[in-house]
Amino acid sequence: LTTCGSLGLCERGPNMVVYPEGVWYSGVAPADVPEIVESHFRGGKPVERLVTRDPHALAAEIRANRDRALAAIRAREAAGMLPEDLMRMIRSYQESRIVLTAIELDVFTAAGSGSTAPEIGKKIRADARATELLLDALVALRLLGKSGGRYSATPVTERFLSARGERDARAAMRHQSSLWPRWARLTECVRTGTAVDYKEMSDRGDEWTQPFIAAMHLNAGERARVVIPAVGPAGIRKMLDVGGGSGAYSIAFAKASPDLRAEIFDLETVLPITRRHIEEAGLSDRVTTRAGDLRIDSFGSGFDLVLLSAICHAFDEAENRDLVRRCHEALAAGGRLVIQDFILDEDRTSPRMAALFSINMLVGTPGGRSYSESEYAEWMKAAGFAEVRRVPLPGMTDLVIGRR
């Protein structure tokens, strides 16, 4: 893939360049694609009627476009205007808020395959004028289509953000709305050094808990596909899932190994959701739950595997040292502790998502943040673990595994 800015040639478009020959096509229509694939890609013969034959004219047009772009940049700089990419970053909250509001109001379900603004406004119980403004903004963001005054969900929003969607993620995405007030107070959090108006998980109520667990369930359902092969379920007969939430990982491990029994340790306010997922999976005989506070309670003993997934970032260093120590005590000889989380490089500025997630923990917890591989390794070795190693995974999180 070659990343580039605007090349110009817009009036000739759509344009294609075929490598390695460097053949330029212009004015390509959808109907031309099969011919290009068959004649050029498979047969090695360019489609002559579409080939642009004057390379000097192409080069001149590209240079002229580049010169215009550079002139525009110089003019912005001379006027003291912010660079475009910086300005986009500063304004990006606007797009996020529009989408979150659409999810909260269930706009994409209401729009369906085609509805007018008054019809949608009535369904979502919202002001008619404001509804139309929101719908037009969603069209501008390409999250709705509009034709003849009727709005319709796009294939993406129909699939993921509608009640009819095969991958309906509305419940999970509402967790982002829950985070919005926290992030709005980031300045205060930086000044004070901790989350403002922090509430214990057990005190947040269903309005917070259900979207949060739904978001974790959606993520865990995807991550389990790479986590389980990386860990290897063979030989695991007794597993403890600390702070297991919806139970997605325990359910996936149990499905991967018929001999495995898992126990999910979480708050009593969370476990009704957990039990529902276990029952839906038909695994009530092999996946059980236990209520407790993972910050202070003993986890029992004799486990072959203890899983800490997306837990450590919520706590400060002292709390994590104690948590890892209690996990060590819960393992049988030879048992493994598996930590999955965002793992920072040693300078703590990358990967980007791990660094940003530290801010999410600043606004949401008393002392949590993302940690580095060396920090995890030091805690585990101090607790008595041997063979501590990092296992890179596809995506944003990795594993750190230690053996008792």
Known catalytic residues?
Answer: 313
CA distance 306 to 326: 10
Read off the tokens for 228.
């389980």
95 half-sphere exposure, CB direction, 13 A CA radius? 10
C-alpha distances in Å from residue 324, one per residue of 213, 218, 320, 380: 23, 26, 6, 6
Angle at 25 between CA 20 and CA 31, to 5 degrees: 115
CA distance 202 to 194: 19
CA distance 17 to 350: 35
Q: Dump the DSSP string for 87-132.
A: HHHHHHHHHHHHHHHHHHHTHHHHHTT-EEHHHHHHHHT--HHHHH
Residue 233: count of CB within 10 angstroms of its CB: 20
Burial class (CB in 10 A: 0-12, 13-18, 19+), 28: middle
Which helix (H) or strand (E) segment holds residue 42: the answer is none
Minimal CA–CA distance to 299: which of 351, 342, 335, 274?
Answer: 335
Q: Dump the DSSP string for 270-339.
A: THHHHHHHHHHHT-TTTEEEEE--TTT----S-EEEEEEES-GGGS-HHHHHHHHHHHHHHEEEEEEEEE
Minimal CA–CA distance to 163: which of 175, 171, 174, 152?
Answer: 171
Cα dihedral 286/289/290/292 (nearest 10): 140
The answer to whether the beta carbons of residues 35 and 13 sit under 8 Å apart is: no
Read off the tokens for 159.
């699939």
DSSP type of residue 21: T
